């Protein structure tokens, strides 16, 4: 995957959420047993892919705040073949931007405090 640039979308939270909720949350027993069997290995394979340089794209989660932001932007654009058009801030790329109050690298909750949104170069939200 690393050599070919094929992205992994790990969805790490899925088996953990099943284990946390369990049968009491209405999750079928077979799904809980399956998650118990694969949860640790699932995390190990993610760590191995990360160490080997496999691109990680966002699914339901992505790890640290910066890794999550990268997975949801540049890595996702790369995985979808849209890297020449979007996924990062650079001249000539589609201007899809989000401005928030604070630094998401320090506090991921800052992403909930949207101040400005631009989609394809047009101002969509302006709370400045």
Task: Give the pLDDT of residue 62.
Answer: 47
Average pLDDT over residues 111-120: 92
Nearest alpha-carbon partner for 7 in 90, 120, 106, 87? 87
The answer to whether position 46 is within a domain reads yes
| 104-119 burial code (b ≥16 CB/10 A, e <16) | beeeeebbeeeeebbe
DSSP strand E in 4-120: where? 97-100, 114-119
The answer to whether position 90 is within a domain reads no
The answer to whether residues 45 and 108 belong to one domain is no
The answer to whether residues 108 and 55 belong to one domain is no
Instruction: Convert the pLDDT of each residue in 7-45 to its tens digit.
Output: 898 888 788 888 888 889 888 899 899 999 998 999 999
CA geometry: angle 20, 24, 26, nearest 5 deg: 95
Highest mean pLDDT among 15-29, 66-80, 110-124: 110-124
The answer to whether position 20 is within a domain reads yes
Residue-range definition of the domain harbouring residue 13? 1-84
Domain count, the chain: 2
List the strands of the sheet with 114-119, edge to edge: 97-100, 114-119, 122-126
């Amino acid at each position: 995957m690393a050599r070919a640039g094929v992205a992994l979308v790990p969805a790490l939270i899925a088996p953990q959420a099943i284990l946390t909720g369990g049968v009491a949350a209405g999750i079928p027993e077979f799904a809980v047993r399956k998650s118990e069997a694969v949860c640790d290995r699932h995390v190990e394979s993610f760590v191995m892919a990360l160490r080997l340089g496999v691109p990680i794209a966002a699914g339901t989660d992505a790890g640290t705040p910066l890794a999550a932001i990268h997975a949801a932007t540049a890595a996702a654009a790369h995985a979808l073949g849209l890297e020449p058009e979007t996924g990062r801030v650079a001249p000539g790329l589609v201007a899809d931007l989000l401005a928030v109050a604070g630094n998401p690298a320090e506090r991921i909750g800052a992403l909930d405090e949207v101040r400005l949104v631009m989609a394809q170069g047009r101002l969509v939200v302006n709370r400045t």
